[in-house]
Amino acid sequence: MARTGTAGTRKRRSVIGRLAALTLAVAAMAAVGLAPGLAGATTRSQTTASEVTTEKNAKLGTILVAGNTVYTQKGKACTGQCLKTWTPVVLPDGTTTASAGSGVDAAKLGTKTTASGATQITYGGKPLFWCTKDKAPGDVKGNVSDKFGKWTAVVTAKASSGGGSTSTTNAGTGGAAF
């Protein structure tokens, strides 16, 4: 009987070891983006920002970024399912104000408290969000209308159309002017 117990113990340890290795492999793939469906909403590359800056976009002009492009929304409040695509731009714990980088009007930066108690950055009084489809500063894959509302990148200066000067009063196609 002692022999059977030892073989059974070894078999259980082998199964547990394999499950642990599989778990680690899935976690590693999720961390590098190879298994995003398994990782859920917790693998976003960016969850907080403390500075808002600008980036040039050939189509829209000068847009706001906080790491990646930031968006505002016209529509109902973004909660529940909406937050899986649209991540609120929140300050890190312990930070109370966002800083304005180059090209950003510091007087327009503000904050609001989210339902979860986080401090979300606002611009011109509107809450800022990231789109999970954007992978780099300047990407504007979130200029869309979806079931949660109309989303637009924040444009601070419209792209010039052939030698004219830029404008801060017109967002052009797909951007919200500020």
Q: What is the pLDDT of residues 117-164, one digit of tens each?
A: 999 999 999 999 999 999 988 899 999 999 999 999 999 999 886 544
Average pLDDT value for residue range 71-77? 92
Where does the pLDDT of residue 16 fall: very low under 50, low under 70, confident under 90, or very high at 90 and above? Answer: low
149, β-bridge pairs: 146
Judge whether 99 and 105 are in contact, CB under 8 Å.
no
d(CA 88, CA 80) in angstroms, rounded, equals 12
